[in-house]
Amino acid sequence: MSVLAIPRRAVLADFVPGSIARDVAMVIGGAVVTGLAAQVAFPVPGSPVPITGQTFAALLVGASLGWQRGATSMLLYLIAGVSGVPWFQGGAAGATASLGYVVGFVFAGALVGTLAGRGGDRTPVRTVGTMVLGSLVIYAFGVPWLMAATNVGLGRALELGVVPFLLGDALKVVLAAGLLPAGWALVRRFR
């Protein structure tokens, strides 16, 4: 069997009937869900980066939509927010210390979507690995941006932009490890 004959593994969004209109609606919907999740925010004392629900939403969107739709959805979220849609915390995104994390959503959406397309969201253990890698990508973009925006070194940026979020990220990973495999169980049941 040739490589071209191997069928692409599906992501959850592939089980929704439709075509281009469905994909456009899902991309827009993923951006909107992420924007709504950003409104669930808690300030972190001493940090310019709040705890929000948007990271969780961005990772779920990537895993559910697959790499192309997931990354496109997060790119739409980023562009719309920078253009003035008021769904970023703290006002104008270009001036915030947390914009690097939002840029990271685009790349995390692509990575998590790719891993989901290869079965990385089918079991709780795989989902944990997929979500941890997605979170690391978000930090890889967010921390350098935070360093530049606040003029601090790496150690201080980790104190401000990583350490306070580790417990919440662990909770998000556990939630995703329950939600995504449960979504697959529903697909298998009703297929």
Segment 97-139, tens digit of pLDDT = 889 999 999 999 999 999 999 988 889 999 999 999 999 999 9
94 belongs to a structural domain: yes
4 belongs to a structural domain: no
19 belongs to a structural domain: yes
1 belongs to a structural domain: no
Both structure tokens of 103: 């840029």
Work out the pLDDT band at 92, boundaries 50, 70, 90: very low
Q: Which of 76, 81, 73, 72 is closest to 99 using CA atoms? A: 81
Write down the pTM of the prediction.
Answer: 0.87
pLDDT at 139: 97
Q: Which residue has the higher pLDDT, 36 or 21?
A: 36
What is the count of structural domains for the chain?
1
**How far is Cα 78 from Cα 176, in angstroms, rounded to an integer?**
22
122 belongs to a structural domain: yes
Work out the pLDDT band at 71, boundaries 50, 70, 90: very high
Work out the pLDDT band at 5, boundaries 50, 70, 90: very low
Q: Which residue has the higher pLDDT, 189 or 5?
A: 189
**Residue 150 is part of which domain span?**
11-190
71 belongs to a structural domain: yes
5 belongs to a structural domain: no
Both structure tokens of 85: 């849609």
120 belongs to a structural domain: yes
CATH number at residue 153: 1.10.1760.20
Beta bridge pairs of residue 120:
none
Work out the pLDDT band at 144, boundaries 50, 70, 90: very high
